[in-house]
């Protein structure tokens, strides 16, 4: 129940499952030094693709941590990286995730229970740089650190069911652009 992934080597570790929810993405290891794994897709509004643990939900909604280092490769997309229970339609049920995208001004924490969601902004502007996030849920609140500094604490729409790791790319609303993200580290564990 404690894993870490450096997203290195020739192929993605077999613990991950790739998913195209809408549209088709390319999933590949980045051939540059220390640039991890890429998900590239899009071409229509709301096209989305992810990697996850194929519904192996090992992490407690009321006591777990997720640490990720990733970046958006371009400005016109939305990325959500962290943990969730499942996906129904476009809803990521029971989630705590770092969220960036062209529809937002600041890097944000996305939380969702089974029926509603909340995006809580930090004071860190969005960009396309490598960023380290640490998210923790403890049953009382969900907190997010950005590059080692606590930036968000929320009690809104906290997850209520076990979660699995997820890395999601999404074409922005009302655009025919693409999404392109890279991830080079992820760690999740129960507390």
Tens of pLDDT, residues 10-50: 899 999 999 998 889 999 998 877 789 999 987 787 888 99
- pLDDT, residue 174, reads 60
Whole-angstrom Cα distance, residue 151 to residue 11?
34
Mean pLDDT, each 10-residue run in order, the chain (191 residues): 91 94 92 87 84 96 97 81 88 92 89 94 95 97 98 97 95 75 96 97
pLDDT at 76: 67
What pLDDT sits at residue 117? Answer: 94
pLDDT in the model for residue 75: 67
In degrees, rounded to 5, the angle at the alpha carbon of residue 186 between the alpha carbons of residues 105 and 15 is 125
pTM assigned to the model? 0.94
**How many residues comprise the chain?**
191
Residue 14: partners with Cβ closer than 8 Å, 6 or more residues away: none
Asked if 109 and 122 count as a contact pair (C-beta separation under 8 A), the reply is: yes
What does each C-alpha distance from 114 to 61, 82, 186 come to in angstroms?
A: 12, 17, 24
């Amino acid at each position: 129940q404690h894993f870490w992934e450096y997203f290195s080597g020739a192929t993605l570790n077999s613990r991950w499952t790739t998913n195209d929810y809408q549209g088709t993405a390319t999933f590949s290891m980045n051939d540059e030094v220390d640039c991890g794994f890429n998900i590239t897709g899009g071409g229509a509004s709301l096209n989305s693709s992810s990697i996850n643990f194929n519904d192996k939900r090992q992490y407690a909604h009321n006591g777990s941590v997720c640490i990720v280092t990733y970046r958006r490769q371009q400005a016109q997309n939305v990325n959500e990286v962290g943990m969730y229970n499942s996906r129904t339609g476009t809803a990521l049920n029971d989630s705590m995730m770092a969220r960036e995208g062209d529809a937002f001004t600041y890097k944000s924490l996305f939380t969702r229970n089974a029926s509603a969601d909340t995006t809580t902004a930090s004071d860190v502007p969005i960009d396309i740089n490598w960023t380290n996030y640490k998210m923790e849920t403890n049953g009382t609140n969900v907190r997010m650190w950005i590059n080692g500094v606590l930036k968000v604490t929320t009690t809104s729409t906290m997850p209520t069911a076990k979660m699995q790791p997820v890395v999601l790319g999404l074409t922005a609303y009302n655009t025919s652009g693409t999404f392109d993200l890279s991830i080079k580290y992820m760690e999740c564990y129960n507390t």
